């Protein structure tokens, strides 16, 4: 019988990225090539023990020594998670789903053993599987060629043995990076209920509760009936968004809600989770405020061979400490280089789908956990083309079918023709995955009941900014305020023609942008953390080029933020002689202009090579922050332009700059991981470096009106030119150098923190909840 072919490994560069080359395992270790492996630790909560395995005596590295619960190389073309599952099943006979595995850190091991014949330059993805209690030793099925025995050992005892460099154990430097394993477990399970409660309460207090109860008297009877179905559809949209953030996020949500009355700490966990819609805090650079120890418990009765009077493996559904940059749109262990290598082998149509708004990227090996025999058979035919595309209409089918049915019912009830049309076309889009017609009908909406529902923004996709998240905004039209802002939408072509960038990049076909002002009744989906005050949609470049965009302003949200946040910030940070310039009118007018300026400037572009593309596709993860900065700074430029044309009052010419300065401090508090906060830091630092913003000896700020106009125009030109050229390197350089927390910003943030000014608001939907029958 022919010997099995030697396992091949993907060769990595020194940064841990795939090179596209694979080699036999023996050659990788002979040549010292960088490669990847998985370490899987099983931890028992009730006993504080880690499971160890004794390596078989025939192993070519560290034979006969006690080691990780399970470990192994990642074979060429395999994914990290699949390898972790496979190794655990092959070596110990335990079959666990992907939500049992928590990636806690990546460890680079560089060493030479066996008298210089075995070089191990290995990136190890270190996973933790958390069980409630120890798995009985008789439940394991050991792979004799790899494992000779298993045992549980107290964490502190095992750590002590490693620190003493006991010859019985494979060596790990517990004082180095691998010591994170013990630090994470120790921190996670120490008794700190009081400290955690205080921290969570402080985090919650950063959001000022705002009760939203807009007047519904202008709604017709039919639209009131339709509203009930629309609100129910918005709840379904919320379910989809939770799933888009992380694959076990909905389970975590339901677990926390179900246990929220168990203790005061559990109540605080649920309250702060409800604001962030995930275990990662939006205002703290997406740091986790929960851990897998807080997560849902699941029972698997068939994960191992049966053991008498033992019900099975009870484990915690895991989530990583670090928020996955690709959310749940891509495999969690996929990096950008793997995606680009895969994409390069696709047809142009497939490439368009892969980078489109309304698809997710999956792995074939994530479809099911394979048995050892099956995985061995698969290795013979496996290719590196492991990724594939799934449209939203299939990925979220059950939820979208439910939402579509509710919107169809709402359409039947409504007596507003444009609203009926929107609801019908949006229901169709949920099922067909083609949102073009429904986005057009959204732009044409003319109804007292204003509805935005569907996948739109791409902020959650931190890898590429390709994928759209689901959201819903339901509001009541303010017809008077809507008529007052019409001027801005009508001036877009004139603004485009005069933008501070080379004429070759300008468009002569910019459509007037309809602007709708509403008072928010309810929102759901991607509305986590800081609340939006306006939005400009759609983001589909085809529609932007053909029809432009439409804007929706949330007036009651803007009013609440100005009253509870911006005015107190001005009191803390703006010099007395300029403090009175901070007023709602310039603040709100700039918001309107910000949204208008999303609709002008480069969108579809021609690269120096002659290739047609879009700014979003070229700038990738830099796009969102730079686009927010563009809309802000060009919005200031545009206000000045309209003032000079006599279309806006001259008294705005100073108040808009001072209100903008105060607004910088508000947005930067969202964190530099968030697109608006990062974009605002870029703008503040640019204007400060140009002398337009001045920090005085008393720790307060002012605007130098003699310098601010030129500084605004220079940054506008810089960003617009980067976008027009699709120059990602320049975008990255600008963000890296300017979107930082500089000393002047620290001064302002410390003042605001000292005064305990809320960072943002947390809306309470009293009217909507009454309509939904909630208490």
Structural contact between residues 659 and 587, judged by C-beta atoms closer than 8 angstroms: yes
Q: How far apart are CA 240 and CA 98, in angstroms?
A: 20
Q: Name the residue with tokens 């700039």.
A: 590
Cβ-in-10-Å burial (0-12, 13-18, 19+) of 434 comes to middle
For residue range 513-566, what is the model confidence (pLDDT) as tens digits? 789 999 999 999 999 999 999 999 999 888 988 888 899 999 999 999 999 999
In angstroms, how far is CA 760 from the centroid of its own chain? 19
Peptide bond into 538 cis (omega under 30): yes
For residue range 613-664, what is the model confidence (pLDDT) as tens digits? 999 999 999 999 999 999 999 999 999 999 999 999 998 999 999 999 999 9
Residue 111: which pLDDT band, with cuts at 50, 70 and 90? Answer: confident
Mean pLDDT over all residues of the chain?
Answer: 93
pLDDT exceeds 90 at position 422:
yes
Domain 8-189 CATH class label: alpha beta
pLDDT exceeds 90 at position 47:
yes
Residue 367: which pLDDT band, with cuts at 50, 70 and 90? Answer: low
pLDDT exceeds 50 at position 368:
no
Q: Torsion-angle region of residue 548: left (phi > 0), alpha (psi -120 to 50) or beta?
A: left
Q: How far apart are CA 625 and CA 46, in angstroms?
A: 45
Q: Could you tell me which residue, 574 or 383, shows the higher pLDDT?
A: 574
pLDDT exceeds 60 at position 459:
yes
pLDDT exceeds 90 at position 682:
yes
Q: How far apart are CA 625 and CA 677, in angstroms?
A: 8
Residue 197 is encoded by which pair of tokens? 């409660």
**Among candidates 76, 102, 70, which has minimal Cα distance to 88?**
70
pLDDT at residue 268, rounded to an integer: 98
pLDDT at residue 391, rounded to an integer: 98
**Among candidates 752, 664, 750, 654, which has minimal Cα distance to 707?**
654
The SS3 of residue 415 is: coil
Instruction: Taking residues 386-392, report their average pLDDT.
Output: 95
Q: How far apart are CA 685 and CA 744, in angstroms?
A: 9
Residue 664 is encoded by which pair of tokens? 């910088």
Identify the H or E element spanning 658: helix 652-668
Rounded to whole angstroms, what are the CA distances from 523 to 213, 357, 423, 451, 762?
13, 21, 16, 10, 11
**Among candidates 692, 459, 681, 483, which has minimal Cα distance to 592?**
483
Scored b (16 or more CB within 10 A) or e, 593-619 reads bbbbbbbbbbbebeeeeeeeebbbbbb
The four Cα atoms 285, 290, 293, 299 give a dihedral, to 10 degrees, of -100
Positions of CATH 3.90.79.10 in the chain = 8-189
Residue 319 is encoded by which pair of tokens? 């989530």
Spatial CB neighbours of 709, under 8 Å, sequence gap ≥ 6: 640
- The residues with which 475 forms a beta bridge, in sequence order, are 450, 520
Structural contact between residues 34 and 11, judged by C-beta atoms closer than 8 angstroms: yes
In angstroms, how far is CA 310 from the centroid of its own chain? 40
For residue range 227-277, what is the model confidence (pLDDT) as tens digits? 999 999 999 999 999 999 999 999 999 999 999 999 999 999 999 999 999
Comparing 105-119, 166-180, 739-753, the range with the smallest average pLDDT is 105-119
Q: Name the residue with tokens 């033992």.
A: 310
Radius of gyration of the chain (CA): 28
């Amino acid at each position: 019988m022919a010997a099995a072919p030697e396992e091949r490994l993907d060769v990595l560069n020194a940064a841990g990225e795939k090179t596209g080359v694979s080699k036999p395992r023996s050659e990788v270790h002979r040549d010292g090539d960088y490669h990847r492996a998985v370490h899987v630790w099983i931890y028992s909560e009730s006993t504080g023990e880690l499971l160890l395995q004794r390596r078989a005596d025939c192993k070519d590295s560290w034979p006969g020594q006690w080691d990780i619960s399970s470990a192994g190389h990642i074979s060429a073309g395999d994914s990290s998670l699949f390898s972790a599952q496979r190794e655990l099943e092959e070596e110990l006979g335990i079959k666990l789903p992907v939500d049992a595995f928590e990636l806690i850190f990546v460890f680079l091991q560089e060493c030479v053993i066996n008298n210089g014949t075995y070089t191990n330059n290995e990136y190890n993805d270190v996973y933790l599987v958390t069980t409630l209690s120890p798995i009985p030793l008789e439940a394991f099925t050991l792979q004799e060629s790899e494992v000779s025995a298993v045992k549980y050992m107290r964490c502190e005892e095992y750590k002590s043995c490693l620190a003493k460099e006991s010859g019985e154990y494979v060596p790990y430097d517990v004082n180095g990076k691998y010591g994170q394993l013990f630090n994470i477990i120790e921190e996670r399970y120490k008794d700190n209920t009081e400290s955690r409660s205080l921290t969570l309460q402080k985090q919650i207090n950063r959001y000022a509760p705002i009760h939203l109860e807009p007047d519904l008297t202008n709604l017709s009877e039919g639209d009131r009936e339709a509203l009930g179905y629309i609100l129910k559809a918005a709840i379904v949209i919320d379910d989809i968004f939770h799933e888009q953030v992380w694959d076990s996020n909905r389970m975590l949500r339901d677990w926390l809600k179900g246990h929220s009355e168990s203790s005061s700490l559990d109540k605080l966990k649920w309250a702060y989770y409800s604001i962030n819609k995930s275990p990662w805090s939006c205002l703290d650079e997406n740091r986790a405020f929960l851990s897998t120890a807080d997560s849902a418990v699941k029972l698997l009765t068939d994960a191992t061979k049966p053991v008498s009077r033992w019900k099975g493996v009870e484990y915690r559904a895991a989530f990583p400490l670090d928020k996955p940059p690709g959310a749940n749109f891509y495999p969690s262990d996929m990096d950008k280089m793997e995606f680009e290598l895969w994409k390069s082998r696709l047809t142009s149509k497939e490439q368009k789908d892969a980078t489109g708004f309304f698809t997710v990227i999956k792995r074939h090996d994530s479809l099911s956990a394979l048995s050892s025999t099956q995985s061995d058979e698969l290795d013979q035919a496996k290719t590196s083309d492991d990724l594939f595309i799934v449209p939203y209409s299939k990925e979220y089918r059950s939820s979208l079918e439910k939402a579509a049915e509710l919107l169809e019912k709402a359409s039947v009830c409504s007596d507003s023709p444009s609203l009926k049309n929107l609801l019908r076309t949006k229901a169709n889009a949920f099922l067909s995955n083609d949102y073009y017609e429904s986005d057009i009908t959204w732009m044409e909406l003319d109804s007292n009941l204003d509805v935005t529902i569907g996948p739109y923004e791409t902020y959650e996709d931190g890898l590429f900014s390709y994928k759209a998240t689901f959201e819903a905004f339901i509001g009541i039209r303010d017809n008077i305020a809507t008529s007052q802002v019409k001027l801005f939408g009508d001036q877009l072509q004139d603004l485009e023609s005069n933008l501070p960038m080379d004429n070759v990049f300008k468009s002569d076909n910019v459509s007037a942008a309809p602007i709708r002002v509403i008072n928010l009744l309810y929102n759901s989906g991607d509305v986590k953390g800081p609340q939006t005050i306006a939005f400009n949609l759609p983001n589909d470049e085809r529609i932007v080029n053909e029809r432009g965009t439409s804007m929706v302003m949330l007036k009651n949200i803007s009013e609440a933020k100005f009253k509870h946040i911006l005015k107190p910030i001005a009191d803390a940070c703006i010099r007395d002689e300029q403090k009175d310039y901070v007023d709602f009118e310039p603040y709100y007018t700039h918001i309107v202009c910000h949204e208008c300026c999303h609709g002008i400037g480069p969108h579809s572009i021609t690269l120096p090579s002659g290739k047609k593309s879009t700014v979003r596709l070229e700038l990738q993860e830099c796009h969102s922050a730079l686009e927010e900065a563009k809309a802000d700074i060009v919005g200031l430029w545009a206000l000045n332009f309209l003032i000079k044309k006599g279309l806006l009052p001259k008294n705005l010419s100073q108040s808009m700059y001072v209100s903008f300065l105060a607004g910088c401090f508000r947005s930067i508090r969202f964190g530099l991981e968030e697109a608006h906060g990062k974009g605002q830091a870029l703008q503040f630092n640019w204007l400060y470096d140009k002398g337009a913003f001045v920090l005085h000896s008393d720790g307060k700020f002012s605007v130098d009106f003699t310098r601010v106009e030129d500084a605004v125009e220079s940054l506008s030109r810089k960003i617009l030119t980067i976008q027009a050229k699709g120059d990602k390197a320049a975008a990255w350089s600008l963000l890296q150098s300017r979107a930082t927390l500089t000393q002047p910003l620290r001064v302002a943030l410390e003042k605001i923190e000292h005064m305990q000014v809320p960072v943002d608001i947390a809306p309470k939907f009293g009217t909507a909840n009454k309509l939904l029958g909630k208490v």
